[in-house]
Structure 1
């Protein structure tokens, strides 16, 4: 046998083996995939008692077949209303994380849940129901005998549903009821096992297709909008029984209200029978909803055109403006919350109707892959709005911070969150994301990726791809691979870049235009990220686009030759939100800045200089006017700056504050970002008419900060390591012996190394800072801690603070670094604000309004007393809480310190009422309780009236726009 024959024989055996294995695998998959084809049958009766008890009682019968190849000794069942029965449920905990505390602080009578469940089989044998140890809304029906493959079980139970107040989707608002996820629901069982999931506010569902027969009995004044088709209604005294039937749907929901106004219309969607469109409008909302029928009609037609004809007999749209459930989709019924205008109403009606296809019929696991329905439906919604609103304004930000050049709001938000390092892949489960992360990863990122796909293949082919997907997978559970297979059938292209690359790495796209040779028409692009999605390269001549090409993704550097002469090149033109480093999207970049009044959302092509008129005042310089000039601030730039020159009318001097910051990503296992900053400022601080010279200071401070990576187990924790050097020069007048004055200056520098950690966990956020400061004549160690234990909302609760400080070395320091009760106005050059960090109106003013200003330092006692100085150590703590009266707090602070006067430890305290107009920004303190040393302090001899002791905090430094941006985004 020749070598060729041996190879042929070997190949023949291999092919035979592969055929047998493939046949076996095919049969195995056919059998195994049938696990996905569960088709439960639910028969439910429900009687609503709306008179005082807000309960619903009835019975439920479930028929369920084990379509797997293994016997089952228990069935997983979701008891989702129970999430409203416990203030510590997973639902409540997530809502708290999102800043919603209604359920956590709910009254007992506002809670709800499922009760009186006792399942029996068809033979009447009880089947024990047990609850999950960690989630009260997850249960298991423990079967008396295992349910064999392909065997069927019939389960029955009575139930009582206590309907909670509307905290999320299920609930009551006044006389209206939103009955969603309201009944015991068998979980999905497939080749991965049981898909058990607690009920969440952010995070939806994964259900089997099922058949329903539901009889709903309500008071006769109520109308009912529901999943399914109304079969009949029967008058029973002062009650009406509504009988619905629904086939091949993933859930059953209904809404009942005495104020519904009902409109109906037959809509031709290309199916054999027209669809009955039902609009249920709340009576008070008829003006806004006058075109709702039109919106519903064209949404049904639009989605039918893009995907395939709407397959159910009816579609209901329900107005629920007061429900906390907001905007939500259920089979054949869409819930619409409050909207601001007609265009938004049109948008959300289209979006929620669209979910009938994308999740209702193409049933993805929303808890694992939320982007498969939310992202794809957001893309469809975008196409709908483009079709009917050519110039629709989708902005959510005020007009004052936008102009016609600003990038779209959602893109700016995405860039901002991406800059924080918080942008997460679309494949991230919702329970592992914050609200803004979820909005982007589940909605906007996949929409953006599909926009790219649309740009590549064109609208007609894109429609064909969606129709193929619908045709292949309707009424089945779907995963990303299923959509990919259907799409690739039509486009005849590899879409791995989207279903793998974009879904998992969209937050890491970082292509940069490095070089543009206009003579050779060559463009050099370098990939600085880990994603290798395709690149869109566009060329402009003048202001006209003359060429555009999609280039396959790549790693490293690549030179692209353009087929036409151009004078400008852009990456992802029209889709510039794709790229992480959005300032590297065009070349040559126009360096001519655009001047705008007030800070604006940035644009892609010009650096901005934002100009804002500012006013100021201090005792030395008097009334001041000036301009605040800033670079683009939102979304974040790697390099940003702020300059504020001002003219003092009393000093007749130019005063100023200026700062520049550079931030870059660090690709290391330990550090996330590097921040380098330089700040300089000069203002007057003391006015002495004797020598006609205004004391002023010059402060220069370079700094560097390293942001540590966020850990998976503590996603809310932000940590920074910071170093700064503060250089202070004070210019002042000095009195001489012969009654003359000379101009003097003093200079000192301080090094500071700090470790800062903060957590934005909603229920108890905190910030802690430990630092060491060193300069001529001193070494100072400080620890500060602040935490808020939330009450019923963010405006209530308990605020605590603590401080510990030690001066291991102190010897005639130029700076006033001894520990003190707080920061108050000083005299001479002995500034309590020895690093000149604060923006104060009267640094050396002990009288007048400015003399009552203090800033938080060391012990943070709210007092103007000048006692409480320690050159050794100090410990302090305090607490405050909100009173029922708005803005009013009560506080108590105390400190134990080594007194240099008494040469022993001394305990001092102060307490009183605070008016909190803006927490940590503007607060007024009225002392009521004070320790003896404070009451008898020297400067209190002339502050002998109670109102003389009132003090206030005005934290003007927070107005620095760089502090605003970095404080919010980076917790810097």
Structure 2
């Protein structure tokens, strides 16, 4: 029995070893393709050898037909374009779209059945005539034709400039997790089988081609060498980029071959300049040829980028492993899917992105991960090496440099900030608002912003963090082992973690599971410093559940690092010892690698009374949080209204680009008219729950303008957690106290009753607001529900029991684009008072043209109605309640309803509008029509009434009244644009 048990255990172990044995499929291609540059189409034949190395018998093979992604508005690509707020493809004519057709599959010469997926027309299934057993191979052939789309994404053309990518029928990957059929996406890349390519391209003879593989035509190679020499001698590059020379009547056929590659792309243009170079690999000393194909535009940048392509090949080979191919090419072409796009041995890119895109030959080209499911294994690791080269060669500040010019970097005092802090900034901006997502997510699940800030930037910085923890040498050895074991294969995240743990001898769940797999952040703090003796003892506490190791450093008075030590993972509190000599302060994370949002507790001074207080520095407008200084931000502010006249002052606030736990803003303004202080003050506390909701904000807001004072407390809940295409909701509870001396309505509105000028009016309003919004590039829906508990007695300043009236307001808005920049919109509003509304004061009524703004939520130029000639309050409205664009002095203390319609007029930047409404006591349906003009991208919108109801004699009778009825949607008190700062920080 004992021996039987041993035998069974041994058999189980052997079987387990077999089941865990790695395998992958092999796909070899022979393709002949002809370009028709008049019809912008390809005609081709594909011969595919499919070898089944899996242990399973196959009865079908999934194929990708990705040109069909551009066929109609129902594809996954088209739907993702809408989610990411891109409309061009949605309204493209049929002539601009693309597809693949003419397929006629045969297997070993016999006709075979091919089924197109009804859910995704860019996926098909080839039904095998006979099952394909393990170890067997079949020959698949088909002709095909591709109608090339305009450049909406990766495949396409701009005139006669061609980007031929994801263009041929390609088998999907079959691995240990099964089949991986996937529709084409713009955000989200690919997963393909390795094999051999032999591709022949026929096209007019005066085209130049950059392609995957190695060119097999000696004459064409000599021609490219000659063109490279000519380009090298050029000093001036003409700028006639929009003119294509006529195509040659003669054609040529270029042949490219390549082994151990999983995709084939080519780019063709008659206007290319060519530069050739060479780089020696650091380990094997083999020579690799480099090519640049570029247009006259930005030619000087391309010439300078010869060093970039060489540096990429040299340093990736040095740090990861030698480049295995004979050449690498960078191409100047249409970039509708980003700043660059990589393919094996060739990339289409901007000069500034060459290092990143060429680096993808390792992390995508050689290590063929499933980018759609695990984009961080490709984009994130590649970004790490891009950052490393940039820091080594002092090439740039960070990947944010396209957004922050060097002048702006200097103006905002960012030139002395570590590049890692800049790379982490976009992630921190989102994470501090509860908008981040885990690194380990699938590509399609990310919001458009998070795909860049997390998959690329945060992942790159987190790998810098891991390299610093492990030491650079140990990190490099682990990555080199990963490269050697998994080159030309399909590794998964668990494989990367396994090799790192095997190579370093450390358990790294805290990194690969917690940092990569969750949105948890670190909050490390220096809590105690013993300065009385040498060595120096420092206590480090981690105040979160992410017990990751933390770097701690001592610095001298010149901020130079003296010693750096790391805490151990898995411990909440630890003590570190340092040499006491010349130490000025102790800091956490001097390299800004940690996924940390709170750096205020990251420094302790050795000497002085206030050891935990960082030096205070005033910063203009915005900045990046740093551990060794407490930054207060300041901007000058200018405002005006007819009561206070000119107001000037400034705004002082503690949070700018990303939010802190406690945020405050003080904006004092001096009123020239009243010789008194005015202004705004905000303070809020932000909570970031781990589940369900994005953020919870508890806030207090105070304002004083004109003859009113406002004090408001509120709790705002934002939910749900972010995801691509998700809706957004807010639930806000608040309590507002208002004290003022001016009426909210003029004499005409109150039907002759004398308004209580000079009388102090005070009231408190508990309120609730719920908003829902879901938008894509084509249409959007918004809903807002408000409940205000209004007092009937506003003299005592308190809401008395039994004297409350509940005001309920509901607005629903829907918009739909009928062209790329033209839309139709409808808004429906309904408001009602619940209770004895006859007792409420007139300033709580519902308005047909505007709300009466009894909670002081809108900026008005003439709230006090001191200037009859401006009629500012009458003409300037806030678009709430009935939302009429005409001024109709209709107010109701019962109920009111309205419909607002907008239709953009084709060709011209003019919108026609129609407002319809009625209210309790109204004797007729009220209406108003007119036109509006948008200026400065709708920042300023001017309304021109054409006709309206004759209720209250509203129709303009002369030019002066017509001018009065021109309404500016721009709120005029926003002579103070920095009021938006206060709103943003609330």
Give the shorter-chain TM-score range.
0.7 to 0.9
Q: CA deviation at 1:212?
A: 1.0
Q: Tell me the equivalent position of 2:147.
A: 162
The superposition leaves residues 367-409 of structure 1 with CA deviations (integer Å, 9 ceiling, x where unpaired) of 1111111111111111111221166465433444454566733
Q: 2:12 aligned with 1:21, yes or no?
A: yes
Q: Quote the Cα distance in structure 1 between the aligned partners of 2:522 and 2:974.
A: 32
The superposition leaves residues 735-792 of structure 1 with CA deviations (integer Å, 9 ceiling, x where unpaired) of 9xxxxx9954222222212222223444323332212111222321111223332344
Note if contact 1:167-1:325 (Cα within 8 Å) is conserved in structure 2: no
Check 1:509–1:960 CA distance in 2 against 1; reply closer, same or farther (3 A cut). Answer: farther
Q: Secondary structure at the match of 1:477?
A: coil
Q: 2:787 aligned with 1:772, yes or no?
A: yes
Q: CA deviation at 1:959?
A: 9.2
Q: Tell me the equivalent position of 1:578.
A: 595
Q: Quote the Cα distance in structure 2 between the aligned partners of 1:75 and 1:272.
A: 41
Q: Quote the Cα distance in structure 2 between the aligned partners of 1:848 and 1:952.
A: 12
Note if contact 1:623-1:649 (Cα within 8 Å) is conserved in structure 2: yes
Q: Quote the Cα distance in structure 1 between the aligned partners of 2:626 and 2:529.
A: 24
Moved more, 378-387 or 276-285: 276-285
Q: 2:570 aligned with 1:554, yes or no?
A: yes
Note if contact 1:306-1:463 (Cα within 8 Å) is conserved in structure 2: yes
Q: Quote the Cα distance in structure 2 between the aligned partners of 1:966 and 1:255.
A: 50
Q: CA deviation at 1:81?
A: 0.7
Q: 2:688 aligned with 1:665, yes or no?
A: yes
Q: Quote the Cα distance in structure 1 between the aligned partners of 2:291 and 2:693.
A: 56
Check 1:545–1:315 CA distance in 2 against 1; reply closer, same or farther (3 A cut). Answer: closer
Q: 2:277 aligned with 1:265, yes or no?
A: yes
Q: Quote the Cα distance in structure 2 between the aligned partners of 1:211 and 1:966.
A: 60
Q: Quote the Cα distance in structure 2 between the aligned partners of 1:22 and 1:966.
A: 66
Q: Tell me the equivalent position of 2:930.
A: 912
Q: Quote the Cα distance in structure 2 between the aligned partners of 1:135 and 1:784.
A: 37
Q: Tell me the equivalent position of 1:829.
A: none
Q: Secondary structure at the match of 1:578?
A: coil
Aligned runs of 1:448-597 on 2, under 5 Å?
Answer: 448-505=461-518, 507-513=519-525, 515-519=527-531, 523-540=538-555, 542=557, 543-554=559-570, 557-565=572-580, 568-587=585-604, 588-590=611-613, 592-597=615-620
Q: Tell me the equivalent position of 2:302.
A: 289
The superposition leaves residues 615-666 of structure 1 with CA deviations (integer Å, 9 ceiling, x where unpaired) of 2221112222222222222111222222222222232222222222221224
| Number of aligned residue pairs | 913
Note if contact 2:848-2:896 (Cα within 8 Å) is conserved in structure 1: no
Q: Paired residue for 2:831, among 775, 791, 805? A: 805
Q: Tell me the equivalent position of 1:691.
A: none
Q: 2:968 aligned with 1:952, yes or no?
A: yes
Q: Quote the Cα distance in structure 1 between the aligned partners of 2:525 and 2:742.
A: 53
Note if contact 1:271-1:310 (Cα within 8 Å) is conserved in structure 2: no
Q: Tell me the equivalent position of 2:450.
A: 437
Gaps of 5+ in 2: 221-247, 605-610, 748-755, 793-804
Aligned runs of 1:348-363 on 2, under 5 Å?
Answer: 348-363=353-368
Q: Paired residue for 2:203, among 214, 218, 229? A: 218
Q: Quote the Cα distance in structure 2 between the aligned partners of 1:372 and 1:836.
A: 51
Q: Quote the Cα distance in structure 1 between the aligned partners of 2:186 and 2:195.
A: 24
Note if contact 1:641-1:962 (Cα within 8 Å) is conserved in structure 2: no
Q: Tell me the equivalent position of 1:609.
A: 632
Aligned runs of 1:59-458 on 2, under 5 Å?
Answer: 59-123=45-109, 125-232=110-217, 238-269=250-281, 270-271=283-284, 273-321=286-334, 324=337, 326-337=339-350, 345=351, 347-389=352-394, 392=397, 394-395=400-401, 396-397=403-404, 398-399=408-409, 400-404=411-415, 408-458=421-471
The superposition leaves residues 32-91 of structure 1 with CA deviations (integer Å, 9 ceiling, x where unpaired) of x22x1x22111111010102x111102111111222233222110000111011122111
Q: Quote the Cα distance in structure 1 between the aligned partners of 2:652 and 2:826.
A: 37
Q: 2:628 aligned with 1:637, yes or no?
A: no
Q: Paired residue for 1:728, among 738, 742, 752? A: 738
Q: Quote the Cα distance in structure 2 between the aligned partners of 1:742 and 1:60.
A: 86
Q: Paired residue for 2:816, among 786, 789, 813? A: 789
Q: Quote the Cα distance in structure 1 between the aligned partners of 2:868 and 2:111.
A: 81
Q: CA deviation at 1:18?
A: 4.3
Q: Tell me the equivalent position of 1:754.
A: 769
Note if contact 1:748-1:814 (Cα within 8 Å) is conserved in structure 2: no
Q: Quote the Cα distance in structure 2 between the aligned partners of 1:665 and 1:433.
A: 19
Moved more, 588-597 or 644-653: 588-597
Q: Quote the Cα distance in structure 2 between the aligned partners of 1:86 and 1:742.
A: 64
Q: CA deviation at 1:266?
A: 3.2
Gaps of 5+ in 1: 1-8, 338-344, 685-695, 736-740, 825-831
Q: Quote the Cα distance in structure 2 between the aligned partners of 1:965 and 1:249.
A: 52
The superposition leaves residues 564-614 of structure 1 with CA deviations (integer Å, 9 ceiling, x where unpaired) of 446644332212542143434334543553112333343334333222222
Q: CA deviation at 1:131?
A: 0.9
Q: Tell me the equivalent position of 2:237.
A: none
Q: Paired residue for 2:713, among 694, 699, 702? A: 702
Q: Quote the Cα distance in structure 2 between the aligned partners of 1:446 and 1:746.
A: 56
Q: Quote the Cα distance in structure 1 between the aligned partners of 2:896 and 2:217.
A: 79
**TM-score when normalising by structure 2:** 0.87
Higher relative contact order (CA 8 A, sep 6+): 2
Q: Quote the Cα distance in structure 1 between the aligned partners of 2:941 and 2:683.
A: 30
Check 1:484–1:559 CA distance in 2 against 1; reply closer, same or farther (3 A cut). Answer: closer
Q: Tell me the equivalent position of 1:854.
A: 877
Q: Quote the Cα distance in structure 1 between the aligned partners of 2:627 and 2:323.
A: 41
Note if contact 2:859-2:974 (Cα within 8 Å) is conserved in structure 1: no
Q: Tell me the equivalent position of 1:3.
A: none
**TM-score when normalising by structure 1:** 0.88
Q: CA deviation at 1:147?
A: 2.1
Q: Quote the Cα distance in structure 2 between the aligned partners of 1:307 and 1:887.
A: 55
Moved more, 941-950 or 139-148: 941-950
Q: Tell me the equivalent position of 2:608.
A: none
Q: Quote the Cα distance in structure 2 between the aligned partners of 1:263 and 1:526.
A: 55
Q: Secondary structure at the match of 1:476?
A: coil
Q: Quote the Cα distance in structure 2 between the aligned partners of 1:17 and 1:306.
A: 45
Q: 2:883 aligned with 1:863, yes or no?
A: no
Q: Tell me the equivalent position of 2:857.
A: 837
Q: CA deviation at 1:715?
A: 6.0
